[in-house]
Structure 1
Amino acid sequence: MQKIHATTVLAIVHNGEVAIGADGQATMGNTVAKSNVRKIRKLSDGNILAGFAGSTADAFTLIERFDEKLNAYGKNMKRAAIELAKDWRTDRYLRRLEAMLITASKDEVLVISGTGDVLEPDNGIASIGSGSMYAQSAATALKKHSTQMTAEEMVKESLHIAADICIYTNHNIILEKL
């Protein structure tokens, strides 16, 4: 049985604002299984945003675990991310999960991978999923040359550019900002 996957998630920190967005497409092999999947979640009383890419069930498991870590570590996003990554690497069950997360607070954006990595991007742009490099390229250009735009506008435009190029990304964009 083929897994449901494929997406594009992008987060940008710009001018004191954080925005995260994702397209709505989930594919099964080379077929669109669903076009309006909600891949962004508000956690920690709306103070932290999380977006996922990869196998849907695996991603939900990881978001639940991340939320548990947030509660255990006083809503400290970086500490919660590091603890989740440690568990992800060492726990036999979690190691098999095929997903990635982007987490965002007012101050920072992190990428959490299944290999135990917690990455904080240098330029305030984080992307994951099938169309991530298209979205990240567009976001990098916009952030450099269109500084008057808001983080939310940059995320939206970058995801639309990715959707024009990547067959695993659609124009059903969900956005959240802090």
Structure 2
Amino acid sequence: MFRGTTIVCIRRDDQVALAGDGQVSLGQTVMKQGACKIRRLHDQQVLAGFAGSTADAFTLFEKFEDKLKTQQGQLARAAVALARDWRSDRVLRRLEALLLVASRDQTLILSGAGDVIEPDDGVAAIGSGGAYALAAGRALLRHSDLGAADIARQALTIAAEICIYTNDHIRLEVL
């Protein structure tokens, strides 16, 4: 399990929202409160967030951006290409992180084991508080009229109340 972050993605109607907390932990010490673990890629058309080692995540963001360019912005093709390289490349396969990526049409979770997973219900989450944010996001999606951004923010807030590796310094991006 990757400790020190929570990233959640919510789809509702014609919006997709990606939110991440700001806590960076080293062992049992909070090293930073306001880190930015999400970013926009490929001419602002793709949202990406990471859980895991920061240096590894930056490497994966770069590699994924390159794959998006090579695949002309096709999210699934870029994700499969990155997952293939991540699993087979001697250097990349040692990277310890997960990526959650989203375009207007698709949400995917990528891992170094070669996984490219698309959620069934428009909700995805990764990181130490991921299960809490996922549960909260699903409940809010099913039982409220809140928009994608509000659900993502609330799901992360709820995760921060439960997970000691997640805080409420939330960064949010919407497509």
The normalised TM-score by structure 1 is 0.96
1:26-49 residue CA offsets vs partner (Å, 9 max, x unmatched): 100010011110001100110000
Which runs of at least 4 in structure 1 moved beyond 6 Å after TM superposition?
none
1:20–1:49: 8 Å Cα contact kept in structure 2? Answer: yes
Cα deviation, residue 51, structure 1: 0.3
2:117 to 110, 116, 119: 119
Aligned residues: 174
**Match of 1:75, SS?**
coil
Structure 1 residue 174 and structure 2 residue 147: aligned?
no
Cα deviation, residue 108, structure 1: 1.1
CA distance, structure 1, for counterparts of residue 54 and residue 92 of structure 2: 14
Q: Which residue of 2 aligns with 1:134?
A: 132
Q: Percent identical across equivalent pairs?
A: 53
1:40-82 residue CA offsets vs partner (Å, 9 max, x unmatched): 1100110000000100000000010000000011011110000
**Match of 1:12, SS?**
strand
2:161 to 150, 161, 164: 164
Cα gap change, 1:5 to 1:55, in 2 (>3 Å): farther
CA distance, structure 1, for counterparts of residue 55 and residue 80 of structure 2: 21
Q: Which residue of 1 aligns with 2:149?
A: 152
1:132-172 residue CA offsets vs partner (Å, 9 max, x unmatched): 000000001001111x1100000000000000011000010
The amino acid across from 2:162 in the alignment is I
Q: Which residue of 1 aligns with 2:95?
A: 97
2:101–2:108: 8 Å Cα contact kept in structure 1? Answer: yes
Structure 1 residue 33 and structure 2 residue 35: aligned?
no
The amino acid across from 1:31 in the alignment is T
CA distance, structure 2, for counterparts of residue 57 and residue 43 of structure 1: 17
The amino acid across from 1:166 in the alignment is C
The amino acid across from 1:44 in the alignment is H
Q: Which residue of 2 aligns with 1:66?
A: 64
**Match of 1:69, SS?**
helix
| Equivalent runs, 1:17-56 vs 2, <5 Å | 17-56=15-54
The amino acid across from 2:173 in the alignment is E
CA distance, structure 1, for counterparts of residue 167 and residue 108 of structure 2: 24
**Match of 1:13, SS?**
strand
Q: Which residue of 2 aligns with 1:57?
A: 55
CA distance, structure 1, for counterparts of residue 24 and residue 3 of structure 2: 5
1:52–1:59: 8 Å Cα contact kept in structure 2? Answer: yes
Cα deviation, residue 15, structure 1: 1.0
